[in-house]
Amino acid sequence: MTARPSPGRDPLLTVVVPVYGVEPFLRACLDSVLSDGGADLEVVAVDDASPDGCPGLLDGYARSDPRMTVLHLESNVGLGRARNAGLARAGGEYVWFVDSDDVLPPGSVDAVLSALRAHRPDVLLVDHLRVYDPDGRTETDPSSRVLRDAGAVGPLSAHPHLVEFQHAAWNKVVRRGHLRDRDLRFYPGWYEDCAFSHPLLLGAGTIAVLDRVCYHYRQRVTGGITRTVSERHFDVFDQYERVFGELDRIGSAAEPFRARVFRLMVDHYLVIAGNDQRLPERLRAEFFHRAARHFRRYRPADGYPAPGGVTGLKHRFLAADAYRAYAALRRAYRLAGATGGAAAAGRPAVAAGSGPQVAPAESATASRAFSG
């Protein structure tokens, strides 16, 4: 039997699920959210004028579970504004934005609720795994390392490395009052999570960490913006302008984090610039030059901890706006990767456990350095 919210009692947690064109994945998402939580959970699903069978599917779930509300938008407004619509309807003390093609592992909602009751933070960070279609292969996100030994709860100033956690909305459960107090919302355009996540953490009084995988982030073969070649990847510049505008607004309290955020911005730009699945080739130089202008504009007066190796070289090229040098090195490394792969293909297979093949691994690493 499904638990019903108590009359006159707001739920502790609202899960907002924006929905557009995800019919093959939607049932798994909703089932994973609604399987836990009892009366302390409500779900607000936002039909962003989805053109498939999602609207009817959502209505069916709402009829069978009183904890779920469906908003049908008259026209497609995009992920950020759909999240805002769900946030406006949310009644929970906390809100969690879950993408409709992702799933929550069993017990995730209950674990989140327990952590919220124990700590009452402004922001609760939860760990995640990347799950790859079509075989279900999983991978730990590199940024998850910052959750280890972070402590249960405290301000960002006590754990400044947490600003390096994956800048997504879905790995952060947020006190709704914190969003209201900081006037935080999602802006239009791609990469909307950048201009949401960084200000969210910078303005938080208390941040708690739930070092448990509570989210499976689906890596689809097609459909995501990271695998869509488009001019809209230039939206990322508007989002980081908002981030640094918020840093300026916060003032001296944000200064200890400026260098970290700057490094994250530069790395993000270089990932996009080097990825054939994002930028049309004709726009790669223009993107690089825009990124170089942001490098000069936002570089901290006291500098920043620049990386070494190939990544550090790319940073130096960006600082000098040296696109020709960057492009030449990118071609060289991609050629090295292709040559290494071809050489590996011509060698006999090595039995499992017989040791690493160093040369192909080095070639692959070199190629990845310029592919994002």
For the stretch 251-264, pLDDT in tens is 888 899 999 999 99
Please tell me whether residues 189 and 281 are part of one structural domain. no
Q: Indicate whether 61 and 174 sit together in one domain.
A: yes
Of 67-81, 243-257, 325-339, 341-355, minimum mean pLDDT range: 341-355
266 and 197 inside one domain: no
The pair of three-digit structure tokens given for residue 11, joined into one six-digit string: 């739920």
Q: Model pTM?
A: 0.85
Average pLDDT, stretch 174-180? 97
Give the CATH number, domain containing residue 194: 3.90.550.10
Q: Do 279 and 335 share a structural domain?
A: yes
Q: Is residue 227 part of a domain?
A: no
pLDDT computed for residue 369 by the predictor = 44
244 has a pLDDT exceeding 50: yes
Q: Classify residue 352: in a domain, yes or no.
A: yes
Query: Which of the four pLDDT bands, split at 50, 70 and 90, describes residue 368?
Result: very low
Tell me the β-bridge partners of 219.
132
Please give the pLDDT value at position 344.
41
Q: Are residues 53 and 156 in the same domain?
A: yes
Do 134 and 259 fall within a single domain?
no
In a domain, 318, yes or no: yes
Q: How many domains does the chain have?
A: 2
Same domain, 170 and 63: yes
Q: Which domain holds residue 42?
A: 13-221
The pLDDT value recorded for residue 222 is 62
Per the domain annotation, does 286 fall within a domain?
yes
Query: Is 131 part of any domain?
Result: yes
